[in-house]
A and B are shown apart, each in its own frame.
Chain A
Amino acid sequence: MPQDEVSTLTDTRKAIYAVGCDGRYEIVPSSGWEAEAEATLQAVDELARRAVEAYDRVAAGAAAPLYFHMFDRRMDIDLLSQASGIGRWRLKRHLKAEVFAKLPPKTVARYAEALGLKVDELKRLPAVRPDRA
């Protein structure tokens, strides 16, 4: 019965099925399992890595801020395409800074909605570069 106090769960606990001394199954709250946290952190780190990479590309002028916000919201082209209802091919074009700048407000609003951002937030890069040690 793991009680590894993993960071991914913060202060919540999850229910785990465990066999007690009497051989009976019971539900026990657990502060997490290290093996699971390792896998979760790996995935979270990978998402963070993509967001930081995207930030640098946008800062260098190689892509529209949309490119950063997509990864910052833990999405990729497939996910954002599904969430916004805008086809993958069109979306890929919209990631270019010069194409994005000319998009009609209606299209920009669809991206903002899908990403849960205000339109002006979507149009710029946050001042602080996200980083995760």
Chain B
Amino acid sequence: MLKPDIPFKHQHAAHCESGVMAQLLSHYGLPLSEAMAFGLSGALMFAYIPFVKLGGMPLIAYRRLPKAIIKGLQKNLGIKMELTTFSRPDLGTAALDRLLGKGQIVGLQSSVFWLPYFPEDMRFHFNAHNLIVYAKAGDEYLISDPVFENPVRCLSKDLEKARFVKGMLAPKGLLYYPVALPEEIDFNLIIPKIIKKTARAMLKTPVPIAGVRAIYALAKTIGRLETKDRRYARLFLGHVVRMQEEIGTGGAGFRFIYASFLQEAGDLLDDQSLKDSSLMMTSVGDQWREFALMIAKSIRRKKRQEIDFCGLQKKLESIAVAETQVYRKFTSS
């Protein structure tokens, strides 16, 4: 068991899983920014899977599957994590309390909908939200939820409900924490390797449901919405933006975090080419934001504009071109 000798400190982050991992590792002795945690996990992705539906809408993701950041970091950095799930809620609660009693901080998977501290308008049924519990006071858990500016509190019965909902991506009470950290990490060696691998995964996918090809596929689908029912088209477009902005990062679907990672990596390795690619990635992120803004204007409840499906398709295709250029830079070097 790792024994931190520093008091726990809450950190505000853009995304839950990378935020939790950065905090857990930093607390236990491996200082890591959120951007580094995200980049080093190799979890950057794009996926558009029309046949997997969430609330009637296709799966669109700007990162790999939940838990990919935890597992990617474990593999790429040589960290050993303890991940435990439970067959019964009471067992999960008992295990959490035991760990807290020993002074551990613990990462948890939970459902956003059942966490009362979330604003009403953000409570959707998303079961793979990550947070840290750092203490218990009476019947309340003290929670460091990285997407919140300040620590929050949650009643024991509410957290238990949120940890044990059933359904897609059911958390099954998952709790996790690092148990062993590597003595030394050779960033000079691993950073270029991870970046190259991430880029290759974006460029060379066998089927057009992942990587850059999936961005083209989504663009084509959006172009074809022209022929569909307008209400459905608006909901579809809103869904694209929501996946891009909300259940990801408060930016451009993880592209800004990745640019921040490239910048930090460039400084660490003193590598100008990485710093240049960070600028390219920032421009990609800006374009995703422009795309979101185009959509927002066409779905606006008041003063609604005509939807320019063709324009949206072209915009998305130009994003795919821009992303391809960044990834090519990595695979060719």
- Residues of A at the B interface (CB closer than 8 Å) are 7-10, 12-19, 24-25, 27, 29-30, 33-36, 38-46, 73-76, 78-79, 82-85, 114, 116
Say whether B123 contacts A74, CB under 8 Å: yes
Say whether A17 contacts B14, CB under 8 Å: yes
Complex Cα distance A114/B38, Å?
33
Given contacts A27-B34, A36-B241, A116-B114, contact A12 B148 (CB under 8 A): yes
Say whether A14 contacts B147, CB under 8 Å: yes
Chain B contributes a number of interface residues (CB within 8 A of A) equal to 53
Besides the known contacts A9-B119, A14-B147, A42-B235, 6 further A-B residue pairs in the complex with CB atoms under 8 A apart = A10-B121, A17-B257, A17-B260, A36-B245, A78-B55, A82-B166
- Residues of B at the A interface (CB closer than 8 Å) are 12-14, 34-35, 53, 55-56, 113-114, 119-125, 146-149, 161, 165-168, 170, 234-235, 238-239, 241-242, 245-246, 249-251, 256-257, 259-260, 263-264, 282, 289, 292-293, 295-296, 299-301
Complex Cα distance A27/B15, Å?
11
Give the residues in chain A near B161, CB-CB below 8 Å.
116
Give the residues in chain B near A41, CB-CB below 8 Å.
121, 301
Which of A29, A76, A78 gathers most chain B CB within 10 Å? A78
Could you list 23 A-B pairs, sorted by A, with CB under 8 Å? A10-B119, A10-B120, A15-B13, A15-B149, A17-B14, A17-B249, A17-B260, A25-B35, A25-B263, A35-B293, A36-B292, A39-B239, A39-B242, A39-B295, A42-B235, A43-B235, A43-B242, A74-B125, A78-B55, A82-B166, A82-B168, A82-B170, A116-B114
Give the residues in chain A near B257, CB-CB below 8 Å.
17
